[in-house]
Structure formats: C-alpha cells, structure tokens
Amino acid sequence: MADIRSLARSQTKTAINVLVKIMHSKDATPAARISAANAVLDRGWGKAAQPSESGNDGSNKPPERIERLIVNPDDPHSESI
C-alpha cells in the first residue's frame, strides 16, 4: 500500500499540470473544466467545510434547549406536557 501511495504522489506535479490544461482547454466540456478547476482548488486550498445534516456548525456547543413531547398512543394527535 505504501508503494502505491508513493508512486501516486510521485506523479502529483504531472497530474496537477494535466488538470490545469483541462481547466484552460477550449476543447474540454464545461463539466470537465469545472471538475478540473475544483480538483486544483481542493488540492491547493483543501475542500470547503460542509455543514452537517444535523445542522451542527461544528462548534460542539451543547444544545440550548431540549424538549420532550409526550403523545397519547391512543390519540397520536394529542399532546400533553
């Protein structure tokens, strides 16, 4: 595995050059140009932070409020607290 990683890393400069050529190519499709540009940016600046599905912004703050809703199983539309 280390040999494969080392081999791939030895081709980094060539791979970046190919991506830059595709990015600037008038013959490449817009999708290919965007993909190449994104790949170059990701390698140079890292991937942009993505918000989590839970809405947590990554700050690890505890929730401000926790609510418990008790529902009568015989009448799921009723609420009692």
Mean pLDDT over the full length of the chain: 82
H or E segment to which residue 80 belongs: strand 75-80
Q: How many CB atoms lie within 10 A of CB 19?
A: 19
Q: Where are the domains of the chain?
A: 1-47
Select the more confidently predicted residue: 77 or 29: 29
pLDDT mean over 45-57: 70
Q: Is the pLDDT of residue 81 over 50?
A: no
